[in-house]
Amino acid sequence: MNFASWPPLLVVDVEGNGANPPDLVEVAALPVGGGQPDTSTAGAWLTKPLHPVTPFAARVHGLTNERLAAEPSWEEIADQVHTLLGASWICAHNAHVDYRVLKAHLPKWEPAGVLDTLRLAKATYSGLAKYSLDALIKHVQPDLSAAPAQRHRATYDAYATAQILIAMAAHYDTWDQLVAAAVPPGLPGAPIPEEDPTLW
């Protein structure tokens, strides 16, 4: 894989307050360039949700209502998030969830395309019992020594997802092959199926 051929790409992860639909409590966006995550230009934001964090969600990511009480509202950081994301490609694990939540919070944002490491892993590592992020970390064994925070925080999960994406990309010769395997139907960047030629 020639990583120099990749368009601008950010691996994203979001954490929510446990409601449905969720309010955001954390967003991370980690650029990937030259086959490496670029933590020096990454963005990470904590935000106080409109509605309280549920006890279950707080147990998962550790972000309690008390911890978020002094953080800015979404309206205060939305423009910063939108500016960093721009029109780049994004990648996430089970990407339709992150895309849907971000799109609900940033209605005018539209990425060039959406890679899903869950979909890509099923194409790349057929036969695994599970394809959760934890299962892929165990299978791929990426170097996460430089990952910020801890599992289930957006910054850590984005870093882990980026390393897994880079590892899987080595199984593909071109960006277009990667896209064909990794973009879920109906999301931005999905290859348009060729129409069958007609007699006319």
Catalytic residue among 51, 139, 152, 171: 152
Amino acid identity at 87: A
Side-chain-side CA neighbours of 165 within 13 Å: the count stands at 35
- Told to judge if 152 belongs to the known catalytic residues of this protein, a careful annotator would answer yes
Contacts of 145 (CB under 8 A, 6+ apart): none
Distance CA 93, CA 125 (A): 15
Residues labelled as active-site residues? 152
